[in-house]
Amino acid sequence: MTNISAFRGEKLVLKKVNFSLSSGESLIIKGPNGAGKSTLLRLLAGLRSVDAGQITWNNQNIAEYSYEHSQNIAWLSHQDSLKPALTVKENLQLTSQIYKTDLYAALKTVNLTHMADIPTRMLSAGQKRRTALARILLKPAQLWLLDEPSVGLDQETIQQLGCIFENFNQQGGMIITTTHVPLPLQNSKVLHLTPPTSMASAL
């Protein structure tokens, strides 16, 4: 991405942000509340447009082929986006069916096979987050965009998350994640965001 700037309403939240990522690499985005971390992830996911600058994938502007780009990424928002009346398995079935991936293998990876038939409204915050992470595993994406993936997870599960990250990177996958706490991402790049102090020269 090159010289990315973005507004939220009339407020400048990102100013001339630059970074690049290659196959097998990870990037941790850090910064205080309001620094634009979640906004940057949404831009990378193609969920909103940049106000200035350019985001490219394999030297192509993602704005020019948004559908194709969406197939390259798996997106985990700060919210788990689960339907509380559905079971864990039912929440994941559509993704599994679309991409013809193994639902139970994903549940096993996040230690939730024993919870497959439990309505998600009965899960703890950590179990809901693990269900949302299982959905990421079910999409054969090249890039994971993760907004605070460790929210609600205990320390043991966070360490397990490190194994999941390492395996994905070893397969050539790329990870971009926001966090306020240490994450077990080996040899990752770090991007520190600070809230822009002025609208002057924003674009």
Angle between helix 155-170 and helix 125-137 axes, rounded to 10 deg: 10
> What type of residue is 7?
F
Is 123 part of any domain? yes
Strand, helix or coil for residue 155: helix
Q: For residue 176, list its beta bridge partners.
A: 27, 145
The model's pLDDT over 10-65, given as tens digits with 9 standing for 90+, comes to 889 999 999 999 999 999 999 988 889 999 999 998 888 899 998 988 888 887 76
> Alpha helix (H) ranges present in 138-188?
155-170
Residue 201 domain flag: no
Answer whether residue 200 is part of any domain: no
What lies within 8 Å, CB to CB, of 123 at 6+ separation is 88, 115, 131
Domain of residue 37 covers 2-192
**Polymer length of the chain:** 203
What CATH number is given to the structural domain containing 179?
A: 3.40.50.300
DSSP letter for each residue of 51-114: SEEE-EETTEEGGGSHHHHHHHEEEE-SS----TTSBHHHHHHHHHHHHT--HHHHHHHTT-GG
Lookup result for tokens 């700060």: 78
> How much is the pLDDT for 86?
97
In this predicted structure, what is the pLDDT of residue 49?
87
pTM of the model: 0.90
Task: Report if residue 199 sits inside a domain.
Answer: no
Q: What is the pLDDT of residues 20-30, one digit of tens each?
A: 999 999 999 99
